[in-house]
Structure 1
Amino acid sequence: MTRSGVQEGSRPGLPDGNRSDGGPAPHGGDGRAGGGRRPDGGRGRRALRWSATTLSVLILGTAGVGRLYYDHLNDNIEKGERSSGDSKAYRAEPNAAGQTPLNILLIGSDSRASDENVALGGGRDTRGNPPLGDVQMLIHLAADRESAAVVSIPRDTRVDIPECTDPRTGDTYPAVNDIINTSLARGGPGCTLATWQNLTGVYVDHWMTIDFAGVVSMADAIGGVEVCVNQNVWDRPLPGVPGGSGLKMRAGSEKVEGERALQWLRTRHAWGSDLLRARAQHMYMNSMIRTLRDQNVFTDTGRLMGLAEAATSSLTVSEEIGSVKELYDLGMQLRTVPPDRITMTTLPTVEDPQNRNHLVTAGADAERMWTMLRDDVAFDGKGDKSDGTGGSDKAGKGDEGGAKASADPAAPDGEIGVLVRNATRSATLGPVSGRAGAIARSLVAKGFTRAAPDTSRALAEERTVVRYPDAASRGDARRVAESLGIPADSVRQSADVSGVTVVVGADWREGTAYPDRSPSGAGGLPEGADALDAAETDPCMDVYEPYRW
């Protein structure tokens, strides 16, 4: 990968008493570990980066590419390694129709590696610093391709970042617990992808990034997008609160483009918090999706070429999708989802007890969202999903399919060697001591007399799994999982184990029977997800009172 950059500066605070939990207020402060402040102007491009990355995917799904232009567009695309970090996520099993979900990580890179990016984002004195991934979202395309979910994580959310190796330099970075936007500087987008996989348990197929210059190019290519406010808004400096995007508009709807679009997307103070800024960005994105679908680009050759040129020039992508054809095919899959089945959300978070300027995931609410993604459950509550799994046939498939599993019978319980590991630590919770021993004793009581705990330090995995080394031990692993109530889709072959290994994850912190994980009902998102679907045209932003006029 060749695009790189420097770190994002801090966010100016709001008046005392303002909060980041939905009330009028950001969590303020520096926004990263260490570092000083930087003018607010560069942050707007982060918002556009976020929008433009998704837009790039959409454009490539709505634009045909002429053969004479094909090689040129291919040359525009920059590529990088898919994963550069230590991650244990596995691909989802196919549903009954043989379909699997598709997950794409979109990253807005805070890059100032070129004169153009420096001019757009400032920070000339920190030009050589590594980039931050200040905007991150996961697009989940359902296995049946009938719905899509988008989950954003606030940039200052503290998570476990795994050990990563930068594919460009060969530098290795140790595992660390830090805010998620720093992952990009610790091995590139592949490290951010590995961080997401470890946090969510969701296998991420691809990543895409975009920088400042690409954002501006894409913003110009799309044209106007309609946005809406409930009160007159003017995002300007106030006494004790510097910065502001300059956005000034009257109550109601207005089409914004160019600098006006930039002002909308960078506005934070006038909404009251970073989380509410994410909501405004979701509204813009939804409106942009509708705008793109309404545009007749197929009969406008100049516009078609402009969109394709901007998209391919703006993106850096993981190498397995590093061609126009692959991007086009990817975009066509996304294009099949109607706007009313695209759900934009933000991960539920709470204030970090270690640093009030940061956030941590909101325990059970966050895990509910990750479970819905892992189980391919539609976020919107629509569609015919009688088993609640978004079309996945969990009951009979397991790790290699029901038919194949039956051909690998288990040994007698007393002859199966089982190692139990404690991996109950998570980004927000410490490990539960004694878990490996408790589960091992339970297995012995059930007749698995060769079960024993791993006495090494507690690991961190969000979801409990049973791993086995080869096909000969598959039946044994499934038998152990069955005895504990662990679902068949959590039984996985792995080269990291030498025998059947039960890894007790953060989702099983008490008891000796695995908690019932009946598939979440479609549409059962936690309230903190702040869900919007792309067909909604009514939502408008409320303006924080000091910024009304």
Structure 2
Amino acid sequence: MAQSEVRGEAPAVEDTKSLAPKNSDAPARSGRHGGRGGGGRRTGGPKTERPRRRRRVLRWSATVLAVVILGTAGAGYLYYQHLNSNIQKGKRANGDDSKAHRTRPNAAGQTPLNILLIGSDSRNSKENLKLGGSRDHVGDPPLGDVQMLIHLSADRKSAAMVSIPRDTRVDIPECTDPKTDHVYPATNDIINVSLARGGAGCTLLTWENLTGVYIDHWMTIDFAGVVRMADAIGGVEVCVNQNVWDHSTPRQRGGSGLKLTKGPHQVKGEQALQWLRTRHAWGSDLMRARAQHMYLNSMVRTLKQQNVFTDTGRLMDLADAATKSLKVSEEIGTVKKLYDLGMEMKSVPTDRITSLTMPNIPDPNDPDNHVVPDADKAAKLWQMLQDDVPLDKNGGESGPKKDTGKDEPAKKPSLDASRLGVLVQNATRTGTEAPVQQRASAIGQVLVQKGYARAQADTSGSLAEDKTVVRYPSADLEGDAQAVAKALGIPMSSVKKSTDVSGVTVVVGADWRSGSSYPKQSQPKAGDLPEGTDAVNASDKGDCMNVYGPYQW
């Protein structure tokens, strides 16, 4: 009986032994069997009660630990759900009229990532009204006064932040309001009104049609969101070369209220919003874009220095502020996807981030208030983004080479050239230049001479395209479109599938205003930016804003 009871207690003895220090085996055994005086011979209650009590203690401790772990996990899950519920989402694009196409993958199969960041001037909340001023616009659809494309290279080793001034006159495509289903017809207007014609998805389409760059996602942020984010970051350093006070003057009403002394300053909260909204004190809307780039570059440096991605408390504060402040396109509408996006951005070295503004010139129709793209220079910038050419020169020769698709074999045409109908459109109009008269007819005649007897000009009106393209509606006509492009000397990378056409269509763009053969296009090189971009590298800590005379104090 005694042996049986001792064997029955063996697991408890071994369990307890495993918890004791290695140099205390003997006292542990003595204690388990009742101490000195032959306790090992007894088989009654005292011998078995203590191990059972210890087993109960261990079992209770394990239960408590399990409850604590599950409780913590539950709290984490609830917090994760709380963050997800903060996020507002919307459709990526509020229409189908996009002429942009994804950039071809590089040799490693990677593609760039493009995100459109839109700053809204909405006054449709008490918080925004308090921060934004005028009550005259309460209830009005918000305008997109800040518009910036964030481009992450395919290899995630370089990035760009490209602004278009809010007063840029552009073609805005037909868009549908996702809330009311109201259809806004295509128009020509300044770019900031695109947000009021169907939301961020309409602004995205406007950018795609202007730049030819495929945009993966959008994010919008309002006045209150800027304040929350600035507070969560803890301050961003900015700098002015003179004392600045952006206030109403007899000649110019309004102003952000920004008031700083000469030199560097940490701005956060409402003061950060004032910095981002200031326009008059910098002298123009173009200089406001430069001040915004300075702020964002400094913010990137600040976040990297704080190592916020490994600081749980800071990360939670930022996550809460970001999810309350941002509205995003639905494909990135979860905390995990936004976090993954942040980690991708974090991987880019500061000296590989370039901030710049689209080259522009005064609008011939309203030179005092509006601008239009500087056609050739803007086209070069868009080409660099489409081809994923780095906008800086700090990358050396590292990274996978790009696959331009030039060596890709052409598809076999489905029809003989003489039987194929080809439509030629004149899209040589730009923001500053009238279309070249009879351009579609001239290129149509070139095609006829090359055997395309059914080629004809579209006489319905002139369009505006920076680059010449050949479009086709379905896969069975891809080979025919490629053959037409080859006959005219147009590169295969400019042959695009499109739902906007019913047959093979040659769109003669502003890059081909004269001549019967498509002009050879030079390939842009890393850092070879066009003039007029006002580019700034994010590693430049010595950048300061000049203050326009009337706003110095």
Say whether the fold is shared (TM-score over 0.5). yes
String of CA shifts for 1:36-89, please: whole Å, max 9, x gaps.
Answer: xxxxxxxxxxxxxxxxxxxxxxxxxxxxx9544221111111111111132221
SS at 1:350 equivalent: strand
String of CA shifts for 1:75-115, please: whole Å, max 9, x gaps.
Answer: 11111111113222122222222121111111111212222
5 Å matches for 1:343-358? 343-355=354-366, 356-358=368-370
Whole-angstrom CA distance in 2 between matches of 1:154 and 1:326: 29
Whole-angstrom CA distance in 1 between matches of 2:251 and 2:440: 53
Q: Aligned match of 2:533 in 529, 533, 536? A: 529
SS at 2:272 equivalent: helix
String of CA shifts for 1:310-359, please: whole Å, max 9, x gaps.
Answer: 10111111111111122222222222211111100011222112112111
Counterpart in 1 of 2:509?
A: 505
Root-mean-square deviation over aligned CA pairs: 2.3
Q: Aligned match of 2:381 in 337, 360, 369? A: 369
Cα offset for 1:227? 1.6
Q: Aligned match of 2:424 in 420, 423, 426? A: 420
Whole-angstrom CA distance in 2 between matches of 1:271 and 1:384: 35
Counterpart in 2 of 1:162?
A: 173
Counterpart in 2 of 1:289?
A: 300
Whole-angstrom CA distance in 1 between matches of 2:103 and 2:247: 47
Counterpart amino acid of 2:94? S
Label 1:453 to 1:95 Cα distance change in 2 as closer, same or farther (>3 A): same
Q: Aligned match of 1:480 in 481, 484, 506? A: 484
Cα offset for 1:513? 1.4
Counterpart in 2 of 1:254?
A: 265
Counterpart in 1 of 2:291?
A: 280
Counterpart amino acid of 1:490? S
Structure 2, unaligned stretches of length 5 or more? 1-74
Percent identity between the aligned chains?
66
Q: Aligned match of 2:81 in 54, 62, 71? A: 71
Label 1:198 to 1:306 Cα distance change in 2 as closer, same or farther (>3 A): same
Counterpart amino acid of 1:420? V
String of CA shifts for 1:253-295, please: whole Å, max 9, x gaps.
Answer: 2222234333333333332222112212211111111001111
Q: Does 1:437 align with 2:436?
A: no
Whole-angstrom CA distance in 1 between matches of 2:117 and 2:482: 36
SS at 2:370 equivalent: strand
Indicate if the aligned counterparts of 2:158 and 2:352 stay in contact, CA closer than 8 A. Answer: yes
Counterpart amino acid of 1:261? A
Whole-angstrom CA distance in 2 between matches of 1:236 and 1:261: 16
Indicate if the aligned counterparts of 1:177 and 1:427 stay in contact, CA closer than 8 A. Answer: no
TM-score, structure 2 as length reference: 0.81
Label 1:479 to 1:66 Cα distance change in 2 as closer, same or farther (>3 A): farther
SS at 2:103 equivalent: coil
Indicate if the aligned counterparts of 1:410 and 1:479 stay in contact, CA closer than 8 A. Answer: no
Counterpart amino acid of 1:482? K
Indicate if the aligned counterparts of 2:227 and 2:272 stay in contact, CA closer than 8 A. Answer: no
Counterpart in 1 of 2:138?
A: 127
Counterpart in 1 of 2:450?
A: 446
Counterpart amino acid of 2:351? D
Whole-angstrom CA distance in 2 between matches of 1:117 and 1:246: 15
Counterpart amino acid of 2:222? D
Counterpart in 1 of 2:341?
A: 330
Label 1:133 to 1:205 Cα distance change in 2 as closer, same or farther (>3 A): same
Which deviates the most, 240-249 or 265-274?
240-249
Indicate if the aligned counterparts of 1:227 and 1:255 stay in contact, CA closer than 8 A. Answer: yes
Cα offset for 1:422? 1.9
Counterpart amino acid of 1:263? Q
Indicate if the aligned counterparts of 1:418 and 1:500 stay in contact, CA closer than 8 A. Answer: yes
Indicate if the aligned counterparts of 2:173 and 2:206 stay in contact, CA closer than 8 A. Answer: yes
Indicate if the aligned counterparts of 1:163 and 1:174 stay in contact, CA closer than 8 A. Answer: yes
Label 1:434 to 1:548 Cα distance change in 2 as closer, same or farther (>3 A): same
Q: Does 1:392 align with 2:396?
A: no
SS at 1:79 equivalent: strand
SS at 1:414 equivalent: helix
* Structure with bigger gyration radius: 2
Cα offset for 1:459? 2.7
Q: Does 1:80 align with 2:84?
A: no
Q: Does 1:206 align with 2:217?
A: yes
Whole-angstrom CA distance in 2 between matches of 1:242 and 1:302: 43
SS at 1:419 equivalent: strand
Counterpart in 2 of 1:23?
A: none
Counterpart amino acid of 1:310? A
Label 1:178 to 1:416 Cα distance change in 2 as closer, same or farther (>3 A): same
Whole-angstrom CA distance in 1 between matches of 2:215 and 2:514: 29
Indicate if the aligned counterparts of 1:341 and 1:380 stay in contact, CA closer than 8 A. Answer: yes
SS at 1:527 equivalent: coil
Indicate if the aligned counterparts of 1:131 and 1:184 stay in contact, CA closer than 8 A. Answer: yes
Counterpart amino acid of 1:304? L
Whole-angstrom CA distance in 1 between matches of 2:276 and 2:255: 11
Label 1:420 to 1:484 Cα distance change in 2 as closer, same or farther (>3 A): same
Label 1:547 to 1:468 Cα distance change in 2 as closer, same or farther (>3 A): closer
TM-score, structure 1 as length reference: 0.82
String of CA shifts for 1:468-524, please: whole Å, max 9, x gaps.
Answer: 233332222112111212111111223333332212123222222112222112212
Indicate if the aligned counterparts of 2:375 and 2:466 stay in contact, CA closer than 8 A. Answer: no
Which deviates the most, 65-74 or 222-231?
65-74
Q: Aligned match of 1:174 in 171, 176, 185? A: 185
Whole-angstrom CA distance in 1 between matches of 2:385 and 2:173: 21
Counterpart in 1 of 2:549?
A: 545
Cα offset for 1:126? 2.9
Label 1:476 to 1:162 Cα distance change in 2 as closer, same or farther (>3 A): same
Cα offset for 1:360? 1.2
Indicate if the aligned counterparts of 1:77 and 1:316 stay in contact, CA closer than 8 A. Answer: yes
Q: Aligned match of 2:392 in 358, 380, 386? A: 380
SS at 2:206 equivalent: helix
Counterpart in 2 of 1:492?
A: 496
Indicate if the aligned counterparts of 2:89 and 2:328 stay in contact, CA closer than 8 A. Answer: yes
Whole-angstrom CA distance in 2 between matches of 1:173 and 1:323: 30
Indicate if the aligned counterparts of 1:378 and 1:390 stay in contact, CA closer than 8 A. Answer: no
Label 1:215 to 1:469 Cα distance change in 2 as closer, same or farther (>3 A): same
SS at 1:467 equivalent: strand
Whole-angstrom CA distance in 2 between matches of 1:374 and 1:510: 24
Label 1:332 to 1:300 Cα distance change in 2 as closer, same or farther (>3 A): closer
Counterpart amino acid of 2:502? S
> Number of aligned pairs?
477
Whole-angstrom CA distance in 2 between matches of 1:260 and 1:469: 52
Whole-angstrom CA distance in 2 between matches of 1:330 and 1:454: 44
Counterpart amino acid of 2:277? R
